Amino acid sequence: MKKLVLLLVLLMAFFVSFSQTEKITEHYRYYRAYNYQKDEWSEIQTCAVYIVYHYNKYDDIKIIPKYGEATLLEKKGSFFKDVTEDGIEYVGAEFKDPQGRIVYVFLYEDGDTLLCFDGIIKIHYTNR
């Protein structure tokens, strides 16, 4: 019986440690915004923004600009993986910003991040 309990405890510890995801921090130097009214992307602008994925145990995201206040995006949906038409893999999920707006966040394998504020604006962060 003791061996069975010990085995169960070890298995639980393994699965708990395996399921925890490390923080991923991306630093971006450039961004561009998509204007829905004009149906076009802006010119690339410089910025200094850090985006921390898996910021806490809830897998929230923290956006930290060099100037200004940090923003916490609360995860609302499950992560999913997909591939763009160009063959670039990405991971995405649904989040909520502090004002309660839905934000879709996509992290691409090339390191770019796309934030889509439900029909309001898209922001594309990149280092290229």
Q: Write out pLDDT tens, residues 53-101.
A: 999 999 999 999 999 999 999 999 899 999 999 999 999 999 999 999 9
Tell me if 4 is assigned to some domain: no
- Please state the domain count of the chain: 1
Tell me if 8 is assigned to some domain: no
Task: Output the pLDDT for position 119.
Answer: 74
d(CA 64, CA 80): 24
Instruction: Please give the model's pTM, rounded to 2 decimal places.
Output: 0.79
Q: Which domain holds residue 92?
A: 22-126
Going from the C-alpha of 43 to that of each of 33, 114, 123, 125, the distances in angstroms are 8, 15, 12, 12
Which residue do the tokens 């130097």 mark? 29
Give me the numbers of helices (H) and strands (E) for the chain, helices first please: 1, 10
